[in-house]
Chain A
Amino acid sequence: MLTILFDGIAYGMLLFVLACGLAVTLGLMNFVNLAHGAFAMAGGYVAFVAVNRLGVPFLLGLPIAFLASALLGILLEQTLYVHVYGKSHLDQVLFSIGLVFMAVAAVDYTMGSSQVFIEVPDYLKGQFKFFGVGIGRYRLLVIAICGLITAALQLVLSHTRFGSRLRASVDDARVARGLGINVGAVFAATFAAGSGLAGLGGALGVEILGLDPYFPLKFMIYFLIVVTVGGTSSITGPFVASILLGIADVAGKYYVPKLGAFAIYTVMIVVLIWRPQGLFARGTAK
């Protein structure tokens, strides 16, 4: 069932792009941002309006979604989130859930409760057969884009100065500050980038996951699963976790449809029992 494998990989990579912003935010700022899904939803709706209503070509709609969500991220970060950084995890949970409620209701009011669909260009529709395996064109695009993003992220992290500053801040913010790194600016930039990526993921995901005002609530669990299983101290962790979970979910639903998402939850529990800090974490108990 190679098609299932292919589907699972596409799904997993999409999850990764959606969730990596959350992983970095959590690892870097120790901030539980349950409103992460709202940025993804924002990106999805921006792309919808741009492509369906304003006639923007689909591939251009994606970076627009990225920019819109990144801007939204910077705006919210500077006005609201900064006040909540120092507070306890419980306060952060309360705050971010409040934000999600507001986002959901606001989108419901402006865009309606029905699911929306993006007009995907014809060359992305349907499947083609590759050695007898059905390859969906759109899913192939998803894999391509997400793969590029992953590679780019890895490059930024390991080969740029910003990347090393980021890694230093994640490891130990106090020491990083002591070394003269402007951790606040690193936070802001990372938050913006994470939100932007979520928005891009949201736009890409409209075709596969569907988009309606309840998107953040529906998928929050999956993002959290990716982040917890993957650990928050690297990019590879969430990446591997996403692929694993994507395949497990799709395969589980194919072979045992009655149990639905049972597979993904069981895999998560098993991994977390075996490695409580996540697959690739570096053992610092928080």
Chain B
Amino acid sequence: MMKRILAGLVGAAALAFAGGAAAQQPMKIGLILPMTGGQASTGKQIDAAVRLYMQQHGDIVAGRKIEVILKDDGTVPDNTKRLAQELIVNDHVDVIAGFGITPSALAAAPLATEAKVTEIVMAAGTSIITERSPYIARTSFTLAQSSVIIADWAAKNGIKKVATLVSDYAPGADAQNSFKERFTAAGGQVVEEIKVPLASPDFSPALQRAVDATSDAIFVFVPAGQGGGFAKQYAERGLDKAGIKLIGPGDVTDDDLLNNMGDAVIGAVTAHLYSAAHPSAANKDFVAAYKKLMNGQRPGFMAVGGYDGIHLVYEALKKTGGKSDGDALIAAMKGMSWESPRGPISIDPDTRDIIQNIYIRRVEKVGGELYNVEFATFEAVKDPIKAAKK
């Protein structure tokens, strides 16, 4: 009699355990971000955005508890690789996410392939990243998306001669090349191509070259965090007074720094995926909630990349019903679309890259603060570099 009760209890416990175990097993996400070093502001924004999302949506999805493990890679790619390896091997994460700069995202790609772990790129912007592993999906942007749109706009608005100034690394090369290709095809002329070193950005000599080249506008791309320094020197050189317009992808007027850049950037026209002034209800809520969490700091495009990245993971997990292996998640992510604070976005099923609206906006003073005010929209822009390869 006792034996039967015992057997029954054990059996019940086993069932409960088995069923319960499958439901209770937490899903771990390894969030590898630059929390110290040159790109620390990117890391902070993404971390805050992820935390905000989880605060708003809870941490249980499809019966599983979501656990985010945050690691600092210090903007050094070999750290990224080691941290990714440790997260996969020791912590058994199902997803690795973050990646503040292109080399970090590329360094983790072979690991994603070997371990069949989904890699969500929330910040890096070079076109080839998603080609490096079939398990990579991106929710940030590619430089080419913004650069070709601004090239189109510039050609249509009377700008004939442009000097380009970009930081000397892969995203910068992407930006410059895609801009040049589109702009010259539309009849414009690139009179000077200047590259500034990524690590020690001193813009005054480069700006001087742009002045000497007598152009109508200067096309600028610098990574998030350096836009402010650039804007200051742009103003100091008097380029705005000399009539040389400032154009480029919106990284240079990043909302994170925009309000402190001073009035010299008023009138700068950029093309980008996100503005804190985007007039949608979703965005208003997002900005308000983010400011509340971060003591009044405005979210920039890096924050929205993080917000959408964690959203993608949540939705994919719901779609797979709790299955978190790489193949299931990536299959679920392909083609997924939703309304982000930046506007409608989707994940391209062919390239796993992001398809989003690109807005043309001008820096204006609204309510005493500087904002990028959108005045034109280009819908569902795919990454042009990969699209051209087809």
Residues of A at under 8 Å CB distance from B? 1, 3-4, 7, 108, 112-117, 119-120, 125-127, 134, 136, 138-139, 207, 210, 212-214, 218, 249-251, 253-254, 257-258, 260-261
B238 touches A258 (CB 8 A): no
**Closest A-chain residue to B256, C-beta based?**
A114
A7 touches B238 (CB 8 A): no
A3 touches B241 (CB 8 A): no
Chain B positions within 8 Å of A254 at CB level: 205-206, 208-209
6 further interface pairs, Cβ-Cβ under 8 Å (given A253-B202, A260-B197): A3-B208, A114-B225, A115-B257, A134-B238, A207-B232, A212-B225
Q: Given A7-B204, A134-B238, A260-B197, check contact A116 B297 (CB 8 Å).
A: no
Q: Given A125-B264, A134-B237, check contact A261 B205 (CB 8 Å).
A: no
Could you say which of A210, A253, A258 contacts B229, with CB atoms under 8 Å apart? Answer: A210
6 residue pairs, one from A and one from B, having the closest CB atoms: A254-B205, A113-B40, A260-B197, A253-B205, A127-B238, A210-B229
B205 touches A115 (CB 8 A): no
Residues of B at under 8 Å CB distance from A? 36-38, 40-41, 43-44, 168, 194-197, 199-200, 202, 204-206, 208-209, 211, 225-226, 228-229, 232, 235-238, 241, 256-257, 260-262, 264, 297
Across chains A and B, the number of contacting residue pairs, with CB separation under 8 Å, is 92
Measured between alpha carbons, how far is A216 from B185 in the docked complex, in Å? 46
**Closest B-chain residue to A128, C-beta based?**
B238
A126 touches B204 (CB 8 A): no
B41 touches A114 (CB 8 A): yes
B40 touches A115 (CB 8 A): no
Measured between alpha carbons, how far is A213 from B41 in the docked complex, in Å? 11
Q: What are some 25 contacts across the A-B interface (CB < 8 A)?
A: A3-B208, A4-B208, A112-B44, A113-B44, A114-B228, A115-B41, A115-B225, A117-B228, A117-B260, A126-B235, A127-B237, A134-B237, A134-B238, A136-B237, A207-B232, A210-B229, A214-B38, A249-B202, A250-B204, A251-B205, A253-B205, A257-B196, A257-B206, A258-B168, A260-B199
User: Nearest Cβ in chain B — how far from A34, in angstroms?
Assistant: 18
Could you say which of A120, A249, A257 contacts B194, with CB atoms under 8 Å apart? Answer: A257
B235 touches A115 (CB 8 A): no
Measured between alpha carbons, how far is A213 from B235 in the docked complex, in Å? 24
Chain A positions within 8 Å of B261 at CB level: 117
**Closest B-chain residue to A259, C-beta based?**
B197
Chain A positions within 8 Å of B229 at CB level: 115, 210
Chain A positions within 8 Å of B264 at CB level: 125
**Closest A-chain residue to B197, C-beta based?**
A260
User: Nearest Cβ in chain B — how far from A149, in angstroms?
Assistant: 22
